[in-house]
Amino acid sequence: MHDSVKVTFIQFINNYMTSNDSVKVLEVGSLNVNGGLRDLKPDNFAWYGIDLVDGPGVDQKIDVAELYPFSDDTFDLVVASSVFEHDIEFWSSFLEMCRVLKQDGIILLIMPSQGTFHRYPLDAFRFYPDAGLALEKWANRNNAKVRLIESFTTLPTNEVWADFVAIFSGRIVEISESKYIGSQLSGENWIVDGNLVEHTYQELPIELRRLKQLENRIIELEKNQNPDPKEQLSVKRIVRKVWTRIRHTNFG
């Protein structure tokens, strides 16, 4: 689990899950490889994890495209993090998440929008905020009545990873705007109530924007008749560093 996932999950808990009542949680793709969401859960969360393999954090092993072993309307919260990129039928998994969600429940998805190529056993997908709208339409078409509350992409922290975040509500829940986390996490291409928040629009990922700014600065320095050699060297070093990160980043 990379740092940006931790930041997003903690902010989600602080904003959306403020009740002290017991919360029944299902985590899809719960194997703890390098830290898991279960490690961050509040004491009132009753956590159950499923995955395709046995291991730490997994309470029950399931097969690809298998119906989850739970009745309809079972869980208050269904979460999945860094799993859909490996799931060859994530659209089927999402329908199952919707099925086992209570009518007043919430679904949280945190999936990579950019990051390194990492097969487990495959690395097939990256996601942008519009994926939240697509999943909502797919679910509704299949008689799963969920609504996208908000979706956005996060900025990288100290790693190459940036995440697609989507939060869905069940059939009867109403969410106050004060709970939204997109603005608090500086979310880009933030979608709220089906609409893109205009001032959050970004066409290019942050690393490409940084590289463009540095390239423009180099052009300015080269035009200067008396450039500062130290600044030139510093900027070029930064460009090389950013470019190295970009070379190891999958932008989708």
Residue predicted with more confidence, 227 or 60 = 60
> Could you read off the pLDDT of 181-229 as tens digits, one per residue?
999 999 999 999 899 999 999 998 877 787 787 777 777 767 776 666 6
CA 118 to each of CA 65, 115, 248, 249: distance values in angstroms, whole numbers, following the listed order = 22, 9, 11, 11
The pLDDT value recorded for residue 252 is: 42
Could you tell me which of 135, 134, 152, 136 has the C-alpha nearest to residue 190?
152
> Could you read off the pLDDT of 78-129 as tens digits, one per residue?
999 999 998 889 999 999 999 999 999 999 999 988 878 888 788 888 999 9
- The rounded mean pLDDT for the chain is 87
The residues that bridge with 18 in the sheet, in sequence order, are: none
> The pTM is what?
0.85
- Please tell me the distance from the alpha carbon of residue 97 to that of residue 207, in angstroms, as a whole number: 33
23, two tokens: 């919360």
Pairing relationship of beta strands 60-61 and 75-81 according to DSSP bridges: unpaired
Residue 39 has pLDDT above 60, yes or no: yes
Q: Which of 28-42, 173-187, 202-216 has the lowest mean pLDDT?
A: 202-216
- Please tell me the distance from the alpha carbon of residue 121 to that of residue 53, in angstroms, as a whole number: 11
The pLDDT value recorded for residue 251 is: 45
